[in-house]
Structure formats: structure tokens, C-alpha cells
Chain A
């Protein structure tokens, strides 16, 4: 509706803007509106198509890991499989359980679908582009509170799952929904806390500012290694992917919260899961892997903002994104699901205290390094001393954490909290019983 009105206005504006053409001033007014609409359309389309291709990638990777070939009949190498699946799901009958509470049953898929998509709005996905109307920022919405927005929206996703579980009026769905709420609430805390260390280093919550800080200093993954580890594990839990897919748990809860859903409603949960994966990967890239930064060069962070620079940075961003998406799938087809008590103890007894302690340590280290006036900018051999010092501290911490984790006190068989003597007694008892059973009668 706004578009037809805006185009003549823009054509009139064109002459004016052309006179004051400054490639470094962000676009304003009508061109800004048009560019934003354009970016919205492109990002939405790319995510929807990308999600469709991700379902194919998931099936292909699972097949390869299991020494199979995967879908290869529809289109070249199975490339049209997502289209066939989509068509099938659109044509399918929607079933509505009699006992379901209809308004929420219909609302729930939308509630999980929408937050999953709109989270991506603040992610800067490439270097800005100079056009004849000014500088175009390459994120749908360049919010100054970017990261807080993500935390706020990402936590909305749990509503879709909980409401789906409750409104289905099915015991398995309800269990799935309950598990999901418990899981997401517990891991969200660790996730937010882990990201605080990034904010401490950047001194800003806006995502472009965080990317800029990493371009100047080097990627955050090294100086904030533990933070990355916590964030990574928590985002696996947040997206309900294996090994944290307790809300779905096919083998225990027959697909959990979406047991009662069919056709396109089920697809919406599926799309939500995959777009959550995309957003979580994009966040990991932005917060810890320099966003659209090309490593080893300053060429990409300085004007002029040409089309080539835009294309290359976009390619690097997508490359990093794809790596994390692959990691998600790789882990899914490797690890078994956590037991519920293991999940909770990992979240509350390990991740949360670790994240809290890590904020204190990072804050203290940043303070001390700043007091010692260790330079943040790149000094020798393209390395920033500040970055290196924090990195070494993190390596030491990582060694400690992994030694503690590796001792298995946190995640261990249910009987490992018994003393060896007790375990031996239990085993003797059970072997005696089976011996008696075999000799009996």
C-alpha cells in the first residue's frame, strides 16, 4: 500500500539526494523506507528458502553419517525434495483433536513461528553498501539495543511450545511443553550471562558495534572462549536440538508438543526450529566470530563501501553461518539425548555458576587490563595485546573447566553418586538374585 505512493516521491527526491550525495551518510526518509522493505523481503525469502534447504541438508547429512545416500530422486541430487515436502504438507488435511482448546491450538504454531523469524531482523549480515541515496546498513533494523531485543524475542519462542503442549490436551504433548519451558528458562539465563562477557568487551549492546569491536581487536572466540562454550551449549538447548531435544523426544513423548499437529501447522513448528537454528548460528557468528568480518585484513572494515566488499563480506558471513548449521546437524546425529535430571543439573549446577563466575572473571580481567593500559588495538604481528592476554586467561580457564567436566561429576550415570562400596554391594545383590533365579525351581 505504501509502495505505490512512495515510488513517485522517491523519483522526485532523487534529484535532491543526488546533489548532496554522500556515500558515508546513512539513507534517510523515503529511500530508507524502500530499502528497509526491500531488505525485509530479501531476508524473509532467503530465510524461508534457506530453511527449506536446511531440511534437505539435515536429511543428507544424517544419511551420510549413517552411510546412506539420502533423498536423491526429486530433482538433481534431491534438490527439489523440500519443494515436494512443502507441497505435500500444504495439500494435507489439517486434523483438529476434539479435546483441544481450539484458539490456542491454532495460535501456538504462529507463536513459535513468528519470534523465530523476527529475531533475525537485527543481525548485521554484511558490510554496509554505498548507494546513490546514501549508506545502506546491511541489517533489517539497526536497533541500538540489538542484543537486548534478541534476548527478549528469543524467550517468546517458549510460549508457542508450551501453549501447543497445553492446548493439545494430550498427556505427552503437555509433558513436552513442560519440559520445554523448564529447559528454556534454565538455559536462557546461562545464555544471557555468557553474552554479558561480550557486552563487557564491546561496551555496547548494538550488534554492529560488537562486530566493529571484533574487527579492531580480533574475534571474541579466543578472548571469551568459555563464554562461547556456554553460549554455544545454551543455544543448542534454546533451539531444542539434540542433545537437548527433550520437548520432542520421539522415543519417550512421541514427538512431544507437536504430537497432535498435522500438515502446515506441523510444518510451522519445523520452520520455527530451523529458523531458530539459523538465528542462533548467526548470533554465535556475530558475537564470537566477528560477524561479517574477513579475518586477517582491514580492507573490509574501511570505506569505500563497494559492491564487491558487500558481496565478499556476505559470503564470509554465510560461510561462518553454514559452519555452525553443520555443527548443529553433526552434533544431532552423534549425541544421544540427555536424561531430564542430567539436563537440569547441567543447566543449574554447572552452566549457571560457571556463567556467573565468568562474568566476574571477565569483568575483573578487563578492568585490570584497562588499568594497566594494555592497548586494545592491533600492535605486533597483527595481534592485540589485550586480546592475547584475555585469550591466555581463557585457555587456562578452559583447561580447568574441561578437566572438571571430564571427571564426569556433572553428567554421569545415575548410580555414580553412590560410593564404590555401595555399587559393589548392589551388583553382588543383583547377581545373587539372577543366580538364584536361574538355579531356582
Chain B
């Protein structure tokens, strides 16, 4: 919603101070008596996030509970803040998987490029914003932490069309 601007014409000559003051006071009194206040009682009532909100990351898993990530290296490549650390590994069958996958949430600028670029729809930015920790180290999310997140993900990615086809 754009901000509404009320354009006022400035008085060229004598301005009425008394009348302006009285009408101003009537206006503030009206607002004083207005029972519909705009404040949201935050911890109890939460703001409805936009479907496109980009917040704390989440790594999705497949049916077996393993991370969907194939360690292709596209997300650390595209990340403008250089906050993703990926060390790829390979199992006996030749399937690549991340040995180390860490996201530094302090460095992250929540642009969502990692989600855009991911070919396996593995890494996601989430609709979540309450991340407080007792130490700075707590903000480097490792793979387990990313997989354990349960919040809904950003709908830049359409769940009905996961491959974007």
C-alpha cells in the first residue's frame, strides 16, 4: 500500500491560529476516544507474514529422512554474501552428498538466490523471523539444524510445481 500524502496549500497571508488549534484538538480528541487502536500485541498476536517472506533457512529432506542436497555447489557459488559453506562428499554408489553444510545467518542477506538456484529444491528460505541465540556461534546453522527446522518455506517456490516447469 503506498503512503498517502495530503498536500496542503500554505497560507499566503494571515493564518488563523485559534480555529486551527481548536480543530486540531477536536481531531486528537477523536483519536483519543477511538477504541480501534492499531497496536498489535506482539508475542500473543503475530503478524501474518507474506507468502513471499524470506527468513531463516530450512533444508528439506526426502522420504528416508536424508537431506535432498546433492552438493552441486550452486548455492555457495551464487550467494552474494558468501555465507554458505559446503564440503561435498560421495558415497559408495557415487551419490554426492554434503559432508559439511553451514549457513552463517549473520552474513546472510536473505536474498533467496540459494532457493532459486537449487536444482533439487533442497535449500529454502523460510517464513520465520524469530531467531535469538545466547551466543554468536549459534547463528552458524549446520546441516542438522537446517534439517530440523519445521517452519513453512517461502512460496517463491510453488509447492504445486516443484521443478518450476
Which of A's residues lie within 8 Å of B, judged by CB?
61, 63-69, 330-331, 333-335, 402, 405-413, 415-416, 420, 423
B residues with CB within 8 A of A: 10-19, 21, 24-25, 27-29, 31-32, 34, 36-39, 41
- Contact for A406 among B17, B25, B29, CB less than 8 A: B17
Structural contact, B14 and A61, CB atoms closer than 8 A: no
A-B contact pairs, 7 of them (CB 8 A): A63-B37, A64-B32, A413-B10, A413-B11, A415-B12, A416-B13, A423-B12
Task: Beyond the given A66-B31, A68-B38, A335-B21, please list 11 additional residue pairs across the A-B interface where CB-CB is below 8 A.
Answer: A67-B31, A67-B34, A67-B38, A69-B37, A69-B39, A330-B25, A334-B25, A334-B27, A405-B17, A413-B10, A423-B12
Most buried by A among B14, B17, B25, B32: B32
Contact of B18 among A63, A402, A413 (CB under 8 A): A402
The answer, among A63, A402, A412, A423, for a CB contact under 8 Å with B15, is: A412
A331-B25, A406-B19 given as contacts; is B14 within 8 A of A412 (CB)?
A: yes
Residues of B within 8 A of A63 (CB): 37, 39
Q: How far, in angstroms, from A331 to B21 measured CA to CA in the complex?
A: 9
Q: Closest chain B residue to A68 by CB distance?
A: B39
Q: Which residues of A contact B37 (CB under 8 A)?
A: 63-64, 67-69
Residues of B within 8 A of A69 (CB): 37, 39, 41
Report the nearest B residue to A401, measured CB to CB.
Answer: B18
Min CB–CB distance A419 → chain B (angstroms): 9
Contact A416 B11 (CB under 8 A): yes
Give which listed residue, B12, B14, B25, B31, contacts A64 with CB less than 8 A.
B31
Chain A residues with CB under 8 Å of B19's CB are: 406
Residues of chain A lying within 8 A (CB to CB) of residue B28: 65, 330, 333-334
Give Cα A333–Cα B39 distance, bound, in whole angstroms: 18
A48 to B52, CA, bound (A): 52
Contact of B12 among A65, A335, A406, A420 (CB under 8 A): A420
The CA of A410 and the CA of B15, in the complex, are separated in Å by 9
Residue of B nearest to A424 (CB): B12
Q: What's the minimum C-beta distance from B15 to chain A, rounded to whole angstroms?
A: 4
Q: From B15, B32, B41, give the contact of A61 (CB < 8 A).
A: B32
The residue in chain B whose Cβ has the minimal distance to the Cβ of A243 is B21
Which chain B residue lies CB-closest to A409? Answer: B14
In the assembled complex, the CB of B19 is this many whole angstroms from the nearest CB of chain A, namely 6
Taking CB atoms, residues of chain B closer than 8 Å to A66 are 31
Chain B hits for A64, CB < 8 A: 31-32, 34, 37
CB nearest neighbor in B for A67: B38
B44 to A: closest C-beta gap in Å:
11
CB distance from A413 to the nearest CB of B (A): 6
Q: How far is the CB of B40 from chain A (nearest CB, A)?
A: 9
Residues of B within 8 Å of A407, CB to CB, are 14, 16
A416 to B19, CA, bound (A): 18
Known interface pairs A67-B37, A68-B37; A416-B15 also in contact (CB < 8 Å): yes
Please determine whether B24 and A405 come into contact, CB atoms closer than 8 angstroms. no
> In the complex, A50→B30 CA distance in Å?
26
A412 to B28, CA, bound (A): 22
Complex Cα spacing A64 to B16, Å:
27
Residue of A nearest to B33 (CB): A64
| Least distance between A298 CB and chain B CB atoms (Å) | 34
Inter-chain CA distance A412–B34, complex, in Å, is 32
Identify B32's interface contact among A65, A406, A409, CB under 8 A: A65
A-chain residues with CB within 8 Å of residue B27 when the two chains form the complex: 334
CB distance from A334 to the nearest CB of B (A): 4
Q: Which residues of B contact A330 (CB under 8 A)?
A: 25, 28-29, 32
B74 to chain A, nearest CB (A): 46
Please pick, from B14, B39, B41, the residue contacting A416 in the complex, using a CB distance under 8 A: B14
Which 4 interchain pairs have the tightest Cβ spacing?
Answer: A408-B14, A69-B39, A334-B28, A408-B15
Contact A65 B31 (CB under 8 A): yes
For residue B38, which residue of chain A has the nearest CB?
A67
CB-based contact A423/B13 at 8 Å: yes
Chain B nearest CB from A244 CB (Å) reads: 13
Contacts of A67 in B (CB 8 A): 31, 34, 36-38
Within the assembled complex, what's the spacing in Å between the Cα atoms of A331 and B22? Answer: 10
- Determine if A411 and B17 form an interchain contact, defined as CB atoms under 8 angstroms apart: yes
Q: Which residues of A contact B32 (CB under 8 A)?
A: 61, 64-65, 330
Contacts of A411 in B (CB 8 A): 15, 17
CB distance from B109 to the nearest CB of A (A): 31
Query: Are A406 and B34 in contact (CB-based, < 8 A)?
Result: no
CB pair A408 B16 closer than 8 Å: yes
Shortest Cβ distance from B13 into A: residue: A416
Instruction: Report chain B residues within 8 Å CB of A65.
Output: 28, 31-32
- Asked, given contacts A64-B32, A330-B25, whether A405 binds B18 with beta carbons under 8 Å apart, the answer is yes
The CA-CA distance from A411 to B21 in the complex, in Å, is: 12
Best-buried of A331, A407, A408, A420 by chain B (most CB within 10 Å): A408
Nearest to A407 among chain B residues (CB) is B14
A219 to B31, CA, bound (A): 32
Q: Which residue of A lies closest to B23 (CB)?
A: A334
| Complex: chain A residue closest to B40, CB-CB | A69
Q: CA of A237 to CA of B123 in the docked complex: distance in angstroms?
A: 62
A407 to B17 CA separation, bound complex (whole angstroms): 8
Q: Which residue of A lies closest to B30 (CB)?
A: A65
A408 CB contacts on chain B under 8 angstroms: 11, 14-17
Distance in angstroms between the alpha carbons of A406 and B21 in the assembled complex: 10
Smallest Cβ distance from A324 to chain B, in angstroms?
A: 15
